[in-house]
Structure 1
Amino acid sequence: MTATTTDAVADQFWTRCRSCSSLLYRKRLRRNLDVCPECGDHQRLAAPDRIRQLVDPGSFTALPGDVAPVDPIEFVDSVPYPQRLAAARADTGLDEAVVCGEARIDGHPLVLAVMDFRFLGGSLGSVVGELITRAAERALDRGLPLLLVTASGGARMQEGVLSLMQMATVSQAIAALREAGLLTISLITDPTFGGVAASFATNTDLVVVESGARMGFAGPRVIHQTIRQPLPEGFQTAEFLLRHGQADMVVERWGLRARLRPLLAAAHAARSAVVRRAEGADASHSAGGSPSWVGPAGSGLAPGDGAGSSVLIRDPDRLAEPDGWRAVQAARHLDRPTTLDYLATAFDAFTELHGDRLGADCPAIVAGLARLGDQHLVVVGHQKGHHTKDLLTRNFGMPSPAGYRKAQRVMRLAVRLGLPIVTLIDTPGAYPGIEAEEQGQAAAIADSILAMTGLPVPVVAVVTGEGGSGGALALGVADRVLMLQNAVYSVISPEGCAAILWNDPTATPRAARALRVTAPDLLRLGVVDGVVPEPPHGAHTDPAAAADLLRRAVVETLTPLLRLPAETLVRQRRLRFRSFGAGNRRVPPPVGTR
């Protein structure tokens, strides 16, 4: 027997722990649920292995996974995206980065979606989002709890901004379950980062973290590269998450079934109450008691505000095709109008509100009450600044968790007062820093996305400059999404994409073009509903004209929404984001609402 053959045979029976380097007998390791018996390291599990460990033997039935793969932006880095998908399928034996099905845990039925990090880092793409959404919809149809087992590096860059949309698509499916009184649980495994952490991993009823797991909005490498500071011991670990209030419990792998059992039993016992509430809601609806959005007495847009032909561009062929990198640079121009500039010019009588009521006021988010003519409304937006002092004070428009919590607080005020909401988006992304992670950055973004999916008042979002990742989407789940002609909207910054996929900072312009971040690209993808034209040489060259165009666009878009009842607004908003799932056709709004 050759040395090579001997080594291969040895590899079948022995392995080394990634943490303590102990030589471990594979069968013993498997009997210990793939937890190192020497140091307790919880090794990563493939989705089929995770399912076998969690559910009752023979109880798992896979949900249909007949979703065709997509390549929406024909992305190519070192190899074309379809080749990466084919290689991942061959390596893992899975069709995608999640396995969904129905099963039982100690006899209690549930629906579960289990992510697999081996498949392109468990990244969240259109198919993954579609499959998890279908699992949530099955749970809703069957009246069952939903368990999400997360393991992901974040949104899938190769699918561009459509991968970003999956955060909202899945979040609104979670929202429907919560509204129906059905239990949702996240089981966080190692690693869970980015768009998954900032959406469905943390917006469930309960967050259970497996011992040894790490979770955060930004990964340690990104944080270190951004702030150039050493990270503290135990940063983003399960214990860190528990200590900073971001988890309900931390559980060793061997104890997961025992911890999930009483939670599922309680959900089963509570199901009868859910049914009674649903029957009561049906009776109310039959009696004509369904809620409607009604603005305050005497509200309305000033005469003439909505008059004239449409200012919005809805046909991408009417737009020039800008170079992606030049568009990014234009969106970042320091003289470009900010949220406060537009509040002083495009809106009337703005009154700013401060604080998240949890101990902080983030200057990167501006929120408060304003008017458009006679119509009172709430405006929430990112604020960058124009000069060094302003940029530093406003943290370059990168919000902390307190900023998103402030935004949610003011949006809840809008609901109580019956006021529509306008959001102005201009951020490179949420702040990737140590304090932000300690204060729950991922959960703050997830909560904002979740809350916006169910707001019973009209919501219009406008990307005025840089729409960066989940930090932008946290203010972007709206009935209508607009963008200025020279704005951009992306799943990640071009610099970040170039660093991760090309490992070459000089590839940034190429990444910007590949990501398809410009107004005509996003209009074609259906991510935005209309484009607000800018003065010929950009908004920064004529801020007054830019403000007038923005005002007219908001009035034009908001006016028909004011006539819709609350239940219609929420339903159509959710249909809008549901349409971003793989294989779904965009569902246009009914005639008369655009």
Structure 2
Amino acid sequence: MSMHKDPGTVAVSPRTLAERLDDVPASTWTSCPQCQLPLYGPKLERMLRVCPGCGHHLRLSAVQRLDAITDVGTFAELDGGLRSSDPLAFHDSTPYPARLERMRERTGRPDAALYGTAAIGGRRVALCLLDFAFMGGSMGSVVGEKVARAAELAAEEGMPLVTCSSSGGARMQEGILSLLQMAKTTAALRRLSTAGQPHISVLTDPVYGGVSASFASYADVILAEPGVRAGFAGPRVIEQTIRQKLPDGFQTAGFLLRNGHIDAIVPRAELHGVLARIVDFHAAPRVRNPAPATAEDDAGRRDGGEPPKGPEGPVDAWQAVQLARHPDRPRADEYIEAVFDDFVELRGDRMTEDDPAILGGLARLDGIATVVIAHRKGRGTAEAVACNFGMPHPSGYRKARRLMEYAERTGVPLVTLVDTPGAYPGIRAEEGNQSAAIADNLAVLSQLRVPVVSAITGEGGSGGALALCVSDHLMMLQHATLSVISPEGCASILFNDAGQAPRAANALRLTARDLMRLGVADEVVPEPAGGAHTDPEGASRRLRRALRHQLGRLADASMDECLQQRYLRLRAVGSMVER
């Protein structure tokens, strides 16, 4: 064997990674600002600039954001030539016009916002996005004008508005004119709301000041990317003002969700799909004729008189209470999954917290767009404790009211599913004004200008249940109950013996059969033999048929007549004689 070297080969000494990277264009590689992982540029772009190591969401330009949330090639920009002037002749370290020109050269954009129309999931929307790279996404005259024009366009052409915010707040170089953009944009959004079109706000890191306190927060649905920082005042300002160190996680996406300020945290890769579902909900039909009645429908539907008797015949009141409380009875989230075609949960009361005892969001039933609100008890001990056993705080009822008003603004019917021992009777609930929260719901439901159908699926405890019960049609599952107080509470107060609960249950006339006779319930939905817990799928099918029929029946009714009938129904409640 020859031992001489092949003259065509060249010995290459080993090179370190750093040495090899020196030969790669600088723009090809970057590092994650959170975990410092080296990131290959083209791969990072394919991953929508989300770090594969720690999940950190790196910042996107407005154009990159368009690619991430809209259908490819559908965006059409409007009024792209709008440019800020220099109303104050402002000069700090650089004259304002020179600063603007430098930003235009750096970003290729005339200002920090672009707006126009696009498709998301095949549905047309108005769209306005901020680019943090242009003066920190600050809101001056051009940004405010584009947001307002986008809202007006959505109202005029009857389509949703989607905004994506990334901003440090107002643009100081435009002074009071910048501040007033807050009022201008929210006024335009109020007109959009009055026109019945939704505003979906997407928060991307960061969102502060005038943008946070105006159009970014004034929305029907607010979504945030993971890791977003958002609030009115920045953390440095807060610490300097109150002289306190802020807690970990302050003003982050998790903080916003826990405190009821946003509806959901959505990873960037999922954002297009979630937006498409929400936009599609608003394009769903609002009017549908009643589905043809079937023999099973007729067997389950009554306009009065004796309700249907199940295969085991009627049960007494205490048996009904036990069945209504059965631990295996279907819960709200299980009914929603089985009854509705799609469901997007919305969270938070926009003030203090998200109460898990109230579950609500956007759904479709047989294609009909519907807002659903339900009491949520939870399944199993840990979940039941987390949901406070289905006993809402005031924040839960405020969340419910927010969703009721959402249904009214967008003209979709409301369905409520009731299953609660009652409103939570605790110190924090009283501090939060539980009474006013329930009273507000009763008042809103009495005049809500959309069809309302309520279904009591388990136990209906006192005012906490009634806060979701005022409706055009009240149905009860066969073994559900509705009462002014629990049988145990009644027995303790009136019979001085909680052990007399079975006697109290019968005296209270709280069964579906009793409520039909009293004219309170309109319909009893039969349950499978032995109760809904023996066949949850069968119980869900029957509930679905009943809800579908009633929504169809109410869809073509005059809303003025519905409201009049709803009021007369409430006025007729009671039993008295006059002498």
Q: What TM-score comes out, normalization by structure 1 length?
A: 0.47
Larger Rg: 2
Q: What TM-score comes out, normalization by structure 2 length?
A: 0.49
